Structure 1
């Protein structure tokens, strides 16, 4: 399917259902992909989780048809930058992103309810047309006609195909429960025109992602981008970051089921000036989980 609403495979028609998993989509660019070092994690986060399952879509450039493929596996580090999957097996890296602490935190604060996470993020990607190292612009038609938005749809399709994500021999049901979005750096670094279009582009994309997950009222958590100031020319990594930050906040303020996570305001960047420390990614994932649980309460959206 090229565009429009993705048809999610529902398992409710089967007579036997062993487990129902709330499923969360985590998407964006490099700070969602993750540059944390797995060796820095505490023991709780460094080993595979027993009741949290993760599908990480293969992150590739626009026009590459191998994007979005992956397999379900227990949540564990190694799905940050450098992770690869061909849809049958996965090659783990030595990095992680916010998904690790997000999954553990959700499981903990929601009464040990099993959790499923679908992640697709591509470093350097933008949401404006033609911006970044890959674009989420939904109506891309050049070359193969496949871009980051299509890779996201592929990830959803592959993630919802299996009938037994925990491989316990019984049928499972996946119920979309929320969206977490960490992105905007590429758009904030491109031009003032692109930055000023960010709010409209973000609203359009979140509308389409909600539609793909078959719930127009899904909670959305937005991570605030931050500028490191580590630029030798003018002290700004992203010249228009304040415009995008304002756009992110405005989107949240005008959406009855959205939250703005600003925890990165207090986190340090590593030497490249774009990414965060391992500790920062842990804090970010925990903040995402806490914001999501509050949205479930405030939006009257129950968690399965």
Structure 2
């Protein structure tokens, strides 16, 4: 074999080993607007396109109408002793993650979160920022990571004009704040995804666009961390 061909093969293997073959884990969870998002429509195709040389594992576990305390096990209200946190949906999510990952090793983890409507309805907006930050730490600790990325979808504008829904605005502000305070965090705007009537849930096109926005933000965080 000629030296030039040997050099070419060696260089190809070297480049491949250093730039290709990474594995990225994307964990999607939340309540109804995450439950309504089908990752196969736009999220998964987008991350695979933007990370074309790598493996992307996408796991989703979501349930409508649920507060963050069903995920964050150390959740506490601003006042009083109740309601109590139980973390059952977090355990269900982790079971799904372990099943999807198996024995594979992954290079990055990005948590994608779309939730908050129930917390606003129950008037727990003032503890939402602390609760989500706690959930991120809980997930980081359980996965043994100190480099967890996260993308949070800000609640839409469907309750913005209702003066009796101040906790809705508190949750929106908390979602932006928690993302902007963390260099590994990002948030997406959903105000234009719920149709002309500013509905609570998004329309078909809205969910497709939401998946795309989540994917683009997630990949940007992955590339930023390299």
Q: How far did residue 265 of structure 1 move?
A: 1.2
Specify which of 125, 143, 147 is matched with residue 213 of structure 1.
143
TM-score, normalised relative to structure 1: 0.58
- Tell me which stretches of 4 or more aligned residues in structure 1 moved more than 6 Å: none
Equivalent positions of 1:12-91 (< 5 A) are 21-34=23-36
Q: Which runs of 5+ in 2 are unaligned?
A: 1-20, 76-82
CA 1:254/1:269 → structure 2, altered by over 3 Å: closer, same or farther?
same
SS state at 1:228 partner: coil
Q: What is the Cα deviation at residue 97 of structure 1?
A: 2.8
Q: 1:97 to 1:214 in 2, by over 3 A?
A: same
The structure where helix makes up a greater share of residues is 2
The offset of 1:269, in angstroms, is 4.3
Does residue 182 in structure 1 map to residue 184 in structure 2? no
Tell me: CA distance 1:110–1:160, structure 2 relative to 1, closer, same or farther (3 Å). Answer: closer
Aligned to 2:206: 280
Match of 1:65 in 2: none
Partner of 1:268: 194
* Correspondence 1:106 to 2:47: yes
CA distance in 2, matches of 1:99, 1:186: 26
8 Å CA contact 1:21–1:175 kept in 2: the answer is yes
Structure 1 residues 296 and 20: alpha-carbon distance in aligned structure 2, compared to 1, 3 A threshold? closer
For 1:63-102, what per-residue CA distance to the aligned partner results, in whole angstroms no more than 9, with x for missing partners?
xxxxxxxxxxxxxxxxxxxxxxxxxxxxxxxxx5355311
The structure with more radius of gyration = 2
> What is the number of residues matched between the two proteins?
198
The structural deviation recorded for 1:266 is 1.3
Alpha-carbon distance change, 224 to 119 in structure 1, aligned in 2, over 3 angstroms: same
Task: Show the counterpart of 1:224.
Answer: 154
TM-score by length of 2: 0.76
CA–CA separation in structure 1 for the residues paired with 2:180 and 2:87: 32
Alignment match, 2:130: 200
Q: Is the 8 A contact 1:227 1:238 kept in 2?
A: no
SS at match of 2:68: coil
Q: Which residue of 2 aligns with 1:244?
A: 171
Alpha-carbon displacement from aligned partner over 1:19-40 (angstroms, at most 9, x marks no partner): 7531111111111111xxxxxx
RMSD of aligned Cα (Å): 2.8
- The runs of 5 or more residues in structure 1 that have no matched partner are 1-18, 35-95, 129-134, 164-171
Alpha-carbon spacing, 1:99–1:204, altered in 2? closer, same or farther (3 Å)? farther
